[in-house]
């Protein structure tokens, strides 16, 4: 006898899409596709997120940019990019130039070129886009210890204000510093009540420790866990989404920060946590 | 799924819902199986109401003096009196051209002396011996032209192609059409089959879960394959993919915006198609080359392929390209299946309506896609163990 009961709770793409189109208003989806507007909405309800240092909407604004007013460390992002593409990071200033995480020089023309590519929509689903500078986020030491380069983040699936499932995404050498699971970043199930990592996967392989650093993962705890959950709880109210995936990072100085809010969160979290999304999202747990 | 499920009693309802999910999956597997079986095992069907109707292009079987037989595409030209055949083809069939009687033929090119041979022909279940004059048709679309002396008693349906086979008056099989040299199915018939192609794409995406590069790009590729045949279409597609991968890094280095990059890709793809056609035109493929690739779609596929390679690596990109081309071949097979063509000829309106209704029905499927059975197997195992 084939055992099929395990499938009952597994949500597929078809059901997810139907649920999103039923529960998430299109105005709210439009809002979260615009990262700048999302951050403004989050800040207006007092949710923690990274402020915008400069917003560039046209080539004229690139020419008028106050270069010396930029801090030493910053993140340059497209406003509407997908999958974290088009991001340029500065880890410090060196006279007129900046330098990357590996210490390579980032001269001004290179930044200007990246700005132009962002405005031309090279990294966005639309033909043009805006670019924004944010203060560089440095991962909390406890999370940086679990990771290899890059910025680990926590994906929390919420139904309304209530977190339902959470996973920690840790970049690996193979994922090139990105926290995208299909690029072989680590996905680690995080227990909602305690913030402890209970299970971890790379691709389809369960692992006990980080493959690059050997650091044990199972049993480690996400720092500021209650703060992370508090931040996740504020996303629905700020954006108007009813079913969402909040991406939250823990900064070394500023604590939990909402990086972005997804109206169409992926389904891979089911494999990472071993929990199907159907029960979690149709009979939301209350805390 | 409805509001009631949010109450604790929804748990029991959830238990009762379990069996239908399994049934849906089995139904999906069965559906895809039946589709493949239907496409490959379709019964022959006559496409026209009367058995003496043929299209503008038909497959004809020619037997030469050495008893060698070939099946080639013939242009049915009622404006010409006699039939003619390509020199290379005549030689390969064993005709002795040097000692053949000569005849003076007047054509748009002027008057010229051509050898005449007696060839045994078979067309739409009729056998006859034809006096065929021989000249070079390398730059023409088809290697054989049949004049009105050889199609007496037959009616030519203008705008239709490949309605019959040499030995019967029913349509050739999909595979045969796709592997014929320069088959060129008429655009009108293909148009009436578009809703069916769209339905197949929806089934493959929503029920099977195949993700191709671009949602409906396989349909456009499939129409191209149906026009030009797989022997020309597939190598051309692959060559253009390769070309795109040579050109794309150069375009990226110029820091062009995406729209300009796509425009340039279209230009390069077209240039190479025309260049290759001019260089190889003597191979007798001329007419179908333009049809062989939908240029704009190919450029967009190349762009997507490049992006996928960049982000997800070589393997994902190769899988994406293979899936796109595989889907295109499957769609082409379906469109050219004799029974499907029969339906499109006889009841085009009803076929379109039925396909549209089924597309909506398939779109309401909320269950797991077949591919997700692989993807989420770990979750199901964990939950199984827990329950």
Give per-residue pLDDT as tens, A200-216: 999 888 899 988 888 89
From A275's Cα to the closest Cα of chain B, the distance in A is: 6
**Alpha carbon distance B233, B239 (integer Å):** 10
A103 and B CB contact within 8 Å: no
The separation between the first and the last C-alpha atoms of chain A, rounded to the nearest angstrom, is: 38
Superfamily (CATH H level) for A5-49+139-282: ATP-grasp fold, B domain (3.30.470.20)
Which range among A120-129, A221-230, B251-260 shows the weakest confidence by mean pLDDT? Answer: B251-260
A36 half-sphere exposure, CB direction, 13 A CA radius:
16
A126-135 average pLDDT score: 90
The number of distinct structural domains making up chain B is 2
**CA Rg, chain A, in Å?**
19
B70 and A CB contact within 8 Å: no
Is the model's pLDDT at B109 over the cut of 80?
no
Contact state of A271 with B21 under an 8 Å Cβ cutoff: no
- What would the two tokens of residue B245 be? 């991968």
Q: What is the CATH number of the domain that holds B127?
A: 2.40.70.10
Between A235 and B68, the more confident residue is A235
A116 neighbourhood in chain B, CB within 8 Å:
255
The answer to whether residues B243 and B359 belong to one domain is yes
Going from the C-alpha of B28 to that of each of A9, A15, A248, B87, B195, the distances in angstroms are: 19, 16, 39, 52, 20
pLDDT recorded at residue B89: 87
B257 and A CB contact within 8 Å: yes
User: Nearest-CA residue of chain B relative to A16?
Assistant: B366
User: Nearest-CA residue of chain B relative to A118?
Assistant: B257
Q: Which of A66, A128, A116, A51 is nearest to A88 (CA)?
A: A116
Which range among A5-14, A17-26, B13-22, B242-251 shows the weakest confidence by mean pLDDT? Answer: B13-22
B13 and A CB contact within 8 Å: no
Q: Residue A133 — pLDDT band, cuts 50, 70, 90?
A: very high
pLDDT recorded at residue A16: 92
From B2's Cα to the closest Cα of chain A, the distance in A is: 9
The per-residue pLDDT of chain B, averaged, comes to 80
Is the model's pLDDT at B289 over the cut of 90?
no
A95 and B CB contact within 8 Å: no
Is the model's pLDDT at B209 over the cut of 50?
yes
Contact state of A5 with B22 under an 8 Å Cβ cutoff: no
The neighbouring-strand residues paired with B70 are B62
The answer to whether residues B366 and B331 belong to one domain is yes
Place of tokens 């949500």: A11
Contact state of B379 with A5 under an 8 Å Cβ cutoff: no
The answer to whether residues B163 and B69 belong to one domain is yes
Pairing status of strand B144-146 against strand B69-76: parallel
Residue range(s) defining the domain that contains residue B311:
187-373
Is the model's pLDDT at B299 over the cut of 80?
yes
A110 and B CB contact within 8 Å: no
Is the model's pLDDT at A136 over the cut of 90?
yes
**Among B14, B372, B374, B380, which would you mutate to test the A interface (most chain A Cβ atoms within 10 Å of its Cβ)?**
B380
- Cα–Cα–Cα angle for A174, A176, A177, rounded to 5 degrees: 120
B381 neighbourhood in chain A, CB within 8 Å:
6
Give per-residue pLDDT as tens, B345-387: 878 888 888 899 999 999 998 888 888 888 888 888 888 887 6
A82 neighbourhood in chain B, CB within 8 Å:
none
Q: Residue B3 — pLDDT band, cuts 50, 70, 90?
A: very low
- Collect all residues with Cβ–Cβ distance below 8 Å to B253 and sequence separation of at least 6: none
Q: Could you please report the per-residue DSSP string of B97-124?
A: -TTS-EEEEEETTEEEEEEEEEEEEEET
Q: Residue B11 — pLDDT band, cuts 50, 70, 90?
A: very low
A279 neighbourhood in chain B, CB within 8 Å:
14
The per-residue pLDDT of chain A, averaged, comes to 89
The answer to whether residues B167 and B192 belong to one domain is no
For chain A, the domains span: 5-49+139-282, 54-135
Give me the residue from A10, A14, A121 closest to B206, CB to CB.
A14
On whether residue B165 sits in a domain, the answer given is yes
On whether residue B345 sits in a domain, the answer given is yes
Is the model's pLDDT at A143 over the cut of 80?
yes
The answer to whether residues B155 and B263 belong to one domain is no
């Amino acid at each position: 006898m084939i055992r099929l009961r395990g499938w009952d709770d597994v949500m597929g793409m078809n059901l997810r899409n139907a649920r999103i189109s039923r529960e998430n208003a299109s105005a709210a989806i439009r809002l979260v596709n615009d990262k700048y507007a999302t951050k403004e909405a989050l800040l207006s309800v007092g949710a923690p997120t990274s402020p915008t240092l400069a917003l560039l909407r046209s080539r004229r604004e690139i020419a008028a940019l106050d270069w010396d007013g930029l801090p030493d460390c910053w993140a340059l992002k497209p406003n509407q990019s997908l999958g974290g593409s088009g991001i340029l990071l500065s880890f410090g200033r060196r006279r007129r130039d900046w330098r990357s995480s590996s210490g390579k020089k980032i001269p001004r023309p290179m930044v200007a070129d990246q700005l132009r590519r962002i405005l031309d929509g090279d990294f966005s689903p639309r033909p043009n886009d805006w670019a924004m500078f944010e203060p560089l986020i440095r991962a909390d030491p406890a999370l940086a210890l679990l990771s290899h380069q890059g910025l680990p983040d926590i994906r929390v699936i919420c139904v309304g204000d209530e977190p339902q499932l959470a996973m920690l995404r840790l970049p690996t050498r193979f994922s090139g510093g990105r926290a995208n699971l299909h690029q072989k970043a680590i996905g680690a199930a995080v227990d909602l009540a305690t913030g402890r990592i209970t299970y971890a996967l790379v691709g389809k392989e369960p692992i006990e420790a980080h493959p690059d650093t050997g650091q044990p993962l199972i049993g480690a705890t996400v720092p500021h866990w209650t703060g992370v959950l508090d931040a996740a709880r504020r996303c629905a109210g700020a954006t108007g989404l009813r079913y969402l995936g909040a991406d939250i990072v823990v900064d070394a100085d500023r604590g939990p920060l909402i990086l972005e809010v997804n109206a169409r969160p992926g389904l891979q979290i089911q494999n990472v946590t071993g929990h199907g999304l159907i029960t979690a999202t149709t009979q939301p747990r209350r805390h | 799924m409805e509001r009631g499920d949010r109450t604790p009693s929804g748990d029991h309802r959830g238990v009762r819902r379990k069996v239908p999910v399994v049934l849906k999956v089995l139904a999906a597997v069965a559906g895809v199986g039946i589709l493949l079986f239907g496409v490959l095992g379709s019964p022959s069907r006559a496409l026209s109401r009367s058995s003496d109707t043929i299209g503008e292009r038909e497959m004809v079987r020619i037997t030469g003096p050495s008893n060698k037989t070939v099946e080639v595409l013939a242009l049915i030209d009622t404006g010409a009196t006699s039939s003619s055949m390509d020199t290379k083809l005549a030689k390969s069939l064993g005709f002795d051209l040097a000692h053949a009687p000569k005849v003076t033929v007047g054509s748009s090119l002027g008057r010229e002396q051509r050898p005449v041979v007696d060839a045994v022909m078979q067309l739409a279940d009729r056998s006859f011996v034809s006096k065929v004059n021989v000249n070079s048709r390398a730059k023409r679309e088809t290697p054989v032209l049949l004049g009105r002396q050889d199609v007496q008693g037959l009616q030519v349906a203008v705008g239709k192609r490949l309605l019959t086979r040499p030995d019967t008056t029913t349509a050739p099989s999909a595979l045969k059409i796709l592997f014929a040299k320069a088959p060129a199915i008429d655009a009108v018939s293909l148009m009436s089959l578009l809703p069916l192609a769209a339905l197949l794409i929806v089934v493959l995406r929503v029920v099977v879960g195949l993700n191709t590069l671009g949602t409906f790009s396989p349909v456009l590729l499939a129409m191209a394959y149906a026009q030009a045949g797989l022997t020309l279409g597939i190598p051309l597609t692959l060559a253009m993919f390769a070309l795109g991968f040579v050109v794309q890094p150069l375009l990226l280095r110029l820091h062009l915006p995406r729209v300009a990059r796509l425009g340039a890709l279209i230009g390069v793809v077209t240039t190479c198609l025309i260049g290759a056609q001019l260089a190889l035109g003597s191979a007798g493929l001329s007419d179908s080359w333009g049809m062989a690739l939908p240029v704009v779609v190919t450029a967009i596929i190349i762009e997507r392929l490049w992006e996928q390679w960049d982000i997800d690596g070589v393997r994902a990109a190769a899988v994406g390209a293979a899936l796109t081309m595989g889907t295109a071949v499957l769609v082409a097979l379906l469109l050219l299946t004799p029974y499907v063509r029969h339906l499109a000829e006889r009841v085009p309106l009803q076929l379109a309506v039925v396909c549209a209704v089924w597309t909506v029905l398939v779109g309401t499927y909320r269950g797991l896609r077949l591919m997700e059975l692989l993807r989420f197997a770990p979750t199901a195992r964990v939950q199984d163990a827990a329950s």
